[in-house]
Amino acid sequence: ARAAKEALSHIRSVQSARTAPQPAAPPAFRDVQPGPPNRSIYDAAGSETLPGKLVRKEGDPESGDLPTDEAYDGLGHTHRLFADAFGRNSIDGHGLPLDATVHFGKLYDNAFWNGQQMVFGDGDGQVFERFTRSLSVIGHELTHGVTQFSAGLAYRNQAGAINESLSDVFGVLVEQYVRKQSVDQASWLIGEGLFTAQVQGKALRSLKAPGTAYDDDVLGKDPQPDSMDSYVRTSADNGGVHINSGIPNRAFYLAAAALGGNAWEAPGRIWYETLTGGSLPAAATFSVFARATAASAAELFGSGSAEHDAVRKAWETVKVKL
């Protein structure tokens, strides 16, 4: 349980009449014609040696091993959200093959992106089930790859918490897209189904209500703040990257809730454009990120649009200065 607890803590013209009419430029998100995914799932068979033995490659039938097949499907769903909703061709935008290893380590209580691939533990069975059980977690880990190949956000302090938040945002969007859930229908949870029945909790994190995902005798209470009033100053976990991510997470939820409908549409596009548009600094603070999302909303939907307004109000609510 102690190891589990430690794992948790890591865990946009006006055409002048004098100029010849031109076709409008296609929105950036449709410039790319993404190809299909190229997935490979490996089995570490309880070792910590990567990648392990290839057990299912693209186009192969189901392997019969649940984590292998969940990882294969989860990678496919994540690839599809980025392709369909944002026109992104895999993690790097250029069709990077998607590799994942399952059965990593013994009773291993985590999942991670190691800079090159995804890795999933089986969980200890006491606190955590296998980590492939949650599509939002698979989407989360893969989004770390997208961030690495785009904004390259540092993994410490506020930039790190934004990095974590972006993984949570696109993680929940993968799940919402697959389940065709609107803002009101979605759980807004990361890691539903990961805790065993013995744990008092529904998930690792809640974007809708940070700080309420679990409250357990052994794990304690979900430590996430939901506004800058309770920002956690800590050197642990790279400056609280998994804790303070609650603040930008709630900002995304609030913007999506104000707009209604499907969160992978306007809100997702605004956040995606912010992440990949090329102007977000790797050392962004919450305020820099907040201004960047507002600028993306104004660029995509117009200054003073409902979208622009919803984004600005969301950051105000979580008390991040624009």
Which active-site residues does the annotation give?
141, 242
Of the candidate residues 8, 111, 266, 292, the single one contacting ligand ASN (CB under 6 A): 111
> Rounded to 5 degrees, what angle do the CA atoms 86, 170, 63 make?
95
Residue identified by tokens 């490979």 is 40
R_g of the chain, CA atoms, integer Å: 20
Q: Return the SS3 of 189.
A: strand
Query: Parallel, antiparallel, or unpaired for β 220-221 and 215-216?
Result: antiparallel
Least distance (Å) from ligand ASN to the CB of residue 194?
10
CA 158 to chain centre: 16
List interacting residues with Zn ion (CB under 5 A).
167
Nearest to 189 by CA among 211, 219, 157: 211
Stretch near ligand ASN under the rule CB under 6 A, chosen from 58-66, 108-116, 271-279, 292-300: 108-116
Determine contact, residues 173/139, Cβ cutoff 8 Å: yes
Q: Which is nearer to ligand ASN, 174 or 295 (CB)?
A: 174
What does the per-residue mask of binding to ligand ASN show for 2-21, with x meaning CB under 6 A?
--------xx----------
Q: Quick one: 89 or 110, whose CB is closer to ligand ASN?
A: 110
Q: Which is nearer to Zn ion, 167 or 276 (CB)?
A: 167
Site string for ligand ASN, 114-153 (x = CB under 6 A): --------------------------xx--x---------
Q: Which residues bind ligand ASN (CB under 6 A)?
A: 10-11, 110-112, 140-141, 144, 164
